[in-house]
Amino acid sequence: MTHYKLSADFKLPANPKPIVVIGAGGIMEEAHLPAYRKANWPVLGIYDLQLEKAQRVASLFGIPAVYDSLEALVSNVPPDVVFDIAVPASRLIDILNQLPQGANVMMQKPMGETLEAAKEILHICETKHFTASVNFQMKLIPSIIAAKHLINQGAIGDLHDMEIRMNIYHPWELWEFLFGIPRMEMLYHSIHYMDMIAYFLGMPKQIYAKTFQHPKQMQLASTRSIIIFDYDRPIRAFVNTNHGHDFGLDHQDSFVKWEGTKGAIKATLGKNINFPKGEADHFAYFLSDHPADGWIEATIPGAWYPDAFVATMADLQCAIEDPTSAHITSVKHAYDTMRLVEAAYLSNDRGGTPLPD
């Protein structure tokens, strides 16, 4: 009988660098800073366009220095800090241009609002010799890490099917900057799932996609999407999102499912259900070698908030220590994810095949 190790472990840096944060919004308060507190990583300073917000967050997390300008922050921090940036994507280029040569940088996703912006961000990072990551943390949620470990051990055989389904109600009003922008759901949410599929299956040959508005959320460019990854081998992989399911929690879904030639895994991501409070995560797997066991439920320690944010920063910190590390959150990987998003919007804009006469 083959025994497989079920683990959500990831590599931690031996000598983590201190962190300074740019942006004092909800994601910083709810995820980034709780993650660094949990990991016992020092945060030396904070800057936000709204000084009062920065001061409030600093008091909550014991951050010793609050800066009233980006220039002041850059001028007063040690050269080896990590700049953790969580601002709207439209502001990234301006901020990156103000950081010093050789900086260590973590950016909140997306990597700009267009592929052209992503190209410019990649160019800045390369010419200024940054060690840089984009915070695609969903592929580093503990249950997703556990699934990756099982798959890498061959537990479910050859992976040939990956489904990501979100049938939830999302309170978009928490992010006012999303209202009125031309690209929304695929760029700011399903981008995570596209990144995750590529992490497990590699880059596809092409993408089919359609993104939709919701009649009750017409102020937003789109809130529902279907995205199909097309590979040159017998693989089915797709994303199916609906953020407008405002009919209670009973039939909300938030899961990733993998099927292989020898088994399957399903991870329920409870944070998306009843967001931002969230529900419990669930993890189960089925091994064809042991059919009598049926679906095996397992408890995976940790959760998306804050553990996945520990993992993304750890990935960057390990790359700072060792440039040959895997660095799966690197700007180069993130640029490929932006290519997927661009293909999805091009597919959406070109439309379907008309019905024959």
Q: What is the pLDDT of residues 264-284, one digit of tens each?
A: 999 999 999 998 889 999 999
DSSP line for 189-237: IIHHHHHHHHHHH---SEEEEEEE--TT-TTSS-SEEEEEEE-SSS-EE
Least confident of 6-15, 170-179, 299-308, 342-351: 170-179
Mean pLDDT of 246-252: 95
Render pLDDT for 22-48 as a digit per residue (tens, 0 to 9): 999 999 999 999 999 999 999 999 999
CA distances from 75 to 67, 79, 103, 257 (A): 10, 9, 13, 47
From CA 161, how far away is CA 158, in angstroms rounded?
A: 9
Tens digit of each residue's pLDDT (9 = 90 or more) over 174-188: 888 899 999 999 999
Average pLDDT (274-297) is: 93
* pLDDT at 291 (0 to 100): 87
Give the chain's length.
Answer: 357
- The CB density around residue 24, as the number of other CB atoms within 10 Å, is 26
Q: Please identify which residue in the block is written with the tokens 């267009």.
A: 114
pLDDT at 339: 98
pTM: 0.95
Q: Which amino acid, one-letter code, is at 140? A: L
Helix (H/G/I), strand (E/B), else coil: 300: coil
pLDDT in tens, 188-229: 999 999 999 999 999 999 999 999 999 999 999 999 999 999
What are the pLDDT digits (tens) for 149-161? 999 999 999 999 9
What average pLDDT does range 218-242 have in this prediction? 97
Please report the pLDDT score of residue 276 as a whole number.
Answer: 87
pLDDT confidence of 286, banded at 50, 70, 90? very high
pLDDT of res. 220: 96
pLDDT value, residue 1: 52
Q: How far is the CA of 14 from the CAs of 2, 7, 20, 309, 321, in angstroms?
A: 33, 20, 19, 18, 8
Report the pLDDT value the prediction gives residue 49, as an integer from 0 to 100: 96
Stated as kind and residue range, the H or E segment containing 313 is helix 309-321
Rounded to whole angstroms, the Cα distance separating 78 from 312 reads: 22
Q: What is the pLDDT of residue 334?
A: 98
In order of start, what are the domains of the chain with their CATH numbers?
138-308 (3.30.360.10)
Render pLDDT for 57-108 as a digit per residue (tens, 0 to 9): 999 999 999 999 999 999 999 999 999 999 999 999 999 999 999 999 999 9
For position 155, what pLDDT does the model report?
97
What would the 3-class secondary structure string for 270-296 be?
HHHCCCCCCCCCEEEEEECCCHHHCCE
Q: What is the pLDDT of residue 3?
A: 81
What pLDDT is stored for residue 174 in this prediction? 86
- DSSP secondary structure of 72-128: HHHHHS-TT-EEEE-S-GGGHHHHHHTSPTT-EEEEPSSSSSSHHHHHHHHHHHHHT
Q: What is the mean pLDDT of the chain?
A: 96
